[in-house]
Structure 1
């Protein structure tokens, strides 16, 4: 029950936001917004984990500065501007024009989305798939949730760049299943998503492991601390922004759902840091990454399904991630009483 006090304000804001969406657009829109909100929370959990671990190494003044101002750019900037930028770039129009179409010209915005959809799905699907693969293809990983699978994936991590080869192979197979006029743009978009994920992760790892990074932050302070945390936080924030397109193409609902979900990041960071909750809820990060991998595969498969005029219902897509998160939470709670080496 002590965890609940950290979440009271975000819960109240979410309840108010969902009520407004329900009143303006109906039950289906409110449900989609709720799915986006829960998806954002699940995908942002690894973000909160890293923030909490780094915060433990900072001085109280640095912690307050980051929690009040340091989250503004990645949390709200990436999540609010991200979807609009994707549509703008893929559709070949200015951001103002894309926003105008989204808010006042639904038919034109729908046409822009149809043009942009294969590129958005390829970019996002590959980005999310790489997040999933790089988390589990790690030979140093010793804590496993789905042990038979994760032990094999961890052992396979000894082969350098195997996850990159697997992701690119999947992208080649996907492109071969598409009409000739779509292959080049899907390949290019997918490779860009893969490279961006590799680059963002590699830049963050250049600061060293978590203990080294924390020591550097505490020693450097000021601008160095903020720049590192902004880089790390923004790279994690991109997951939820991309994954939202697997749920819905309604920009208003995306902005609302991700915005409400983002309110939980600060509260989760505080809770994890002050209550040491990660020592008990050990599988939540696993569940979040399974959700990320599932969304990535669904986004990639959605490109092929669209060629046959098929579409997976949005609520099914979102429900998969929610179920995975709840299962990992349940297993974490069951394992709390056992010593760490028995897991």
Structure 2
């Protein structure tokens, strides 16, 4: 336990310092809101750490360090601030400067613009995560199954070429048809962009990971593509949390602080899983993470359908489903590890 604690010691210290700083500068209510945002980020992104750890195991130590340092800056400031800012400007028909001014000085107006952009944001993230889920289980080479009957049949169905793409497109089309006509085009484009980026990033990573490539070129290009894929995955996980954060508070500094501290904690958890090779022992944890990813993707797409009516999927539901699925897969992995092995 002492060895594992060293991985989370620094983020716990940063969380404590951050909460104390908010408490001193903004008061008890602001500190409490920041703590809630921190918990929201951790609950929504725990499964992201599991998937990231599996990808990071394939990278060199230098590439791992790059992702775990600069990879933190990009999701916190790029995804949670600059990304929504750009989408708000496009969806709201305003300039980037005006969107920035609204974010910094008129948070209520910024929240209105963000809600206007919400269906497009959720369509992109939902389709990206849905493809991650489908491509993991529709894999004929997959032999380790957690939910045996279901996953064995999905793996067998993976023999049908591009079946997961056809299913994802069918889901996107159903979502678009359920929307008012003025939203359909934007949602279809956003969802297709998410789908194409997921296919492109994973396909390139597999291509550069082929045995026929020279090892030097393999490490360089394969690592870069994997890092891009990790950032896209981070972005998709963060989108619904960024939108949901405004349901808790419209103060952007608190949102960046709470979500940023949560992202730092998730990064440390990713390091723990990677360096301790925990996924090799907790054999079903990756399965649970991908079920949670699929649930989050479907909930984001459901949010697209109900958003025009002023409704939204509560963030606690996404977090609760993910935590429950991961807890079940962890418990079953530990139970499996305790079973005596036949010689």
After TM superposition, the score normalised by the length of structure 1 is: 0.83
Question: Partners in 2 of 1:160 and 1:15 — Cα distance?
Answer: 50
The residue number in structure 2 matching 1:99 is: 100
- Map 1:232-271 to 2 at 5 A: 232-245=229-242, 247-249=244-246, 252=253, 255-264=256-265, 267-271=268-272
Q: CA deviation at 1:157?
A: 0.8
Question: Partners in 1 of 2:325 and 2:155 — Cα distance?
Answer: 20
Q: CA deviation at 1:318?
A: 1.9
Partner secondary structure for residue 59 of structure 2: helix
- Map 1:76-155 to 2 at 5 A: 76-83=73-80, 84-92=82-90, 93-155=94-156
The residue number in structure 2 matching 1:59 is: none
Q: 1:73-107: CA deviations, max 9, x gaps?
A: 33321342123323413532455543332232112
Matched, 1:37 2:66: no
- After superposition, the Cα gap between the structure-2 partners of 1:269 and 1:13, relative to the gap in structure 1 and judged at 3 Å, is same
Partner secondary structure for residue 194 of structure 1: helix
Partner secondary structure for residue 337 of structure 2: coil
Q: CA deviation at 1:133?
A: 0.8
Partner secondary structure for residue 153 of structure 1: helix
Q: How many residues align?
A: 329
Question: Partners in 1 of 2:214 and 2:21 — Cα distance?
Answer: 44
Contact 1:283 1:332 in 2 (8 A): yes
The residue number in structure 2 matching 1:58 is: none
Q: Deviating runs (4+, > 4 A) in structure 1? A: 18-22, 93-96, 220-226, 250-254
Task: Tell me the C-alpha RMSD between the 2 structures.
Answer: 3.0
Q: CA deviation at 1:216?
A: 5.6
Matched, 1:168 2:169: yes
Q: CA deviation at 1:182?
A: 1.1
The residue number in structure 1 matching 2:329 is: 328
Matched, 1:317 2:318: yes
Please say which of residues 313-322 and 224-233 is displaced more in the overlay: 224-233
Partner secondary structure for residue 160 of structure 1: coil
- After superposition, the Cα gap between the structure-2 partners of 1:239 and 1:177, relative to the gap in structure 1 and judged at 3 Å, is closer
Question: Partners in 1 of 2:147 and 2:258 — Cα distance?
Answer: 30
The residue number in structure 2 matching 1:60 is: none
Please say which of residues 255-264 and 111-120 is displaced more in the overlay: 255-264
Question: Partners in 1 of 2:339 and 2:59 — Cα distance?
Answer: 26
Matched, 1:75 2:72: yes
Contact 1:36 1:254 in 2 (8 A): no
Question: Partners in 2 of 1:335 and 1:39 — Cα distance?
Answer: 26
- After superposition, the Cα gap between the structure-2 partners of 1:271 and 1:110, relative to the gap in structure 1 and judged at 3 Å, is closer
Question: Partners in 1 of 2:100 and 2:154 — Cα distance?
Answer: 42
- After superposition, the Cα gap between the structure-2 partners of 1:123 and 1:270, relative to the gap in structure 1 and judged at 3 Å, is closer
Task: Note the residue ranges of structure 1 that are not aligned, 5 or more in a row.
Answer: 56-62
- After superposition, the Cα gap between the structure-2 partners of 1:268 and 1:150, relative to the gap in structure 1 and judged at 3 Å, is same
